[in-house]
Amino acid sequence: MATEYATGADYIKHHLTNLTFGQYPDGSWGFAHSREQVEAMGFWAIHVDSMAWAVGLGILFLALFGHAARRATEDVPGGFQNAVEQIIEFIDGTVRDSFSHRNRMVAPLALCSFIWVFLMNLMDLVPVDWVPWAFSLAGVHYMKIVPTTDPNVTMGMSLSVFALVLYYSLRRKGIGGFLGELTLHPFSAKNPFLKALLIPINLFLEGVALLAKPVSHGLRLFGNLYAGEMIFILIALLPLWAQWTLSVPWAIFHVLVILLQAFIFMVLTVVYLNMAHDTGEH
């Protein structure tokens, strides 16, 4: 496929551009036809491909699990129900291990993060040219099918988790407790003057630590998948007969990466929420 493009750089650029719908600088709305147009649209634009694949995969996940959940019985489970139960028990065990409070939202949240992120990551194993080529036949120029290679998607999820972290921190500890956590640690002093002096230092350290969580949470997933996708694109630039020698090993290795990154994303979600629930009184 790479031969259709003037240079390898063009090919890579094309494969890393989302199908974007947004407002042109002149005020009208429409799809961007080039990378420059995408840049010009700024914040008021939406990656139609990321959103469509993400929502589609999310609905696939909910449909599959909803199907199993609707027919869940305590009798002998069928094959599919058994598989779903295995996954749910695995998630339940992981949540029990790392979340020590009572909150009936955390386990479903973990399940949703794990399976949804896994499905989105799984799209990385679809050969990089198939879907974009099929869509180009239909006249759609850009099509990125791996939503987790879009930082908007991963950050959207990690910021949602961050919002929950802030909500539960405030609810469990109160404003005073939360501010105390941000300002009186890690350096503390008995002397009130010294204590006041240490507040900005603590606030800086704790603030950075707090803000680093959603950023690292989202960018870790994005970075891993983006790098994987990039390598698949680079392999696709090789002559056709040589591609499989690299793409097959990388795909096999990548199976591990997509599973592991989905798992890490879930575990971090649970751990951050656990930290938000910890009041420091044990």
Partner 1 sequence: MNINLTLIGQAISFTIFVWFCMRFIWPPVINALEARKKRIADGLADADAAKTERERAEQEAQQTAGQAREEASRILAQAERRASEIVAEARTTAKTEGERILTQAQEEIEKNTQQVREQLRGEVATLAVAGAEAVLQREVDAIDHADALEQLAERL
Q: Catalytic: 172?
A: no
d(CA 150, CA 48): 11
CB of 63 vs partner 1, minimal distance in Å: 10
User: Per CB under 8 A, does 268 bind partner 1?
Assistant: no
Cα distances (angstroms) measured from residue 97 to each of 105, 112, 197, 259, 274? 16, 18, 39, 19, 11
Q: Catalytic: 224?
A: yes
Cα distances (angstroms) measured from residue 225 to each of 125, 153, 154? 11, 12, 10
What token pair was written down for 207?
């603030």
- Residues forming a β-bridge with 31: 21
CB of 238 vs partner 1, minimal distance in Å: 26
CB of 79 vs partner 1, minimal distance in Å: 15
Nearer to partner 1, 85 or 206 (CB): 85
Enumerate residues 6+ apart whose C-beta is below 8 A from 12: 230, 233, 234, 237
Contacts 24+ apart (CB under 8 A), 191-198: none
Question: What number of chain residues touch partner 1 (CB under 8 A)?
Answer: 51
Enumerate residues 6+ apart whose C-beta is below 8 A from 264: 220, 221
CB of 74 vs partner 1, minimal distance in Å: 4
Binders of partner 1 among residues 41 to 70 (CB under 8 A) are 41-47, 50-51, 54-55, 58, 61-62, 65-66, 68-70
Binding mask 132-171 toward partner 1 (x if CB under 8 A, else -) reads: ---------------x--xxxx-xxx-xx-----------
Binding mask 81-120 toward partner 1 (x if CB under 8 A, else -) reads: ---xx--xx--x-----------xx-xxx-xx---x----
Coil vs helix vs strand at 239: coil
d(CA 29, CA 272): 39
d(CA 168, CA 253): 38
Spot the catalytic one: 35, 103, 136, 220: 220
Q: Catalytic: 216?
A: yes
| Residue showing tokens 């199993």 | 68
Among 27, 73, 138, 193, binds partner 1 (CB under 8 A): 73
Q: Which range in 16-24, 126-134, 170-178, 257-265 contacts partner 1 by CB under 8 A?
A: 16-24
First to last CA, the chain: 60
Nearer to partner 1, 38 or 182 (CB): 38
Binding site for partner 1 (CB under 8 A): 18, 20, 22, 38-39, 41-47, 50-51, 54-55, 58, 61-62, 65-66, 68-70, 72-75, 84-85, 88-89, 92, 104-105, 107-109, 111-112, 116, 147, 150-153, 155-157, 159-160
What amino acid positions are annotated as catalytic residues?
Answer: 216, 220, 224
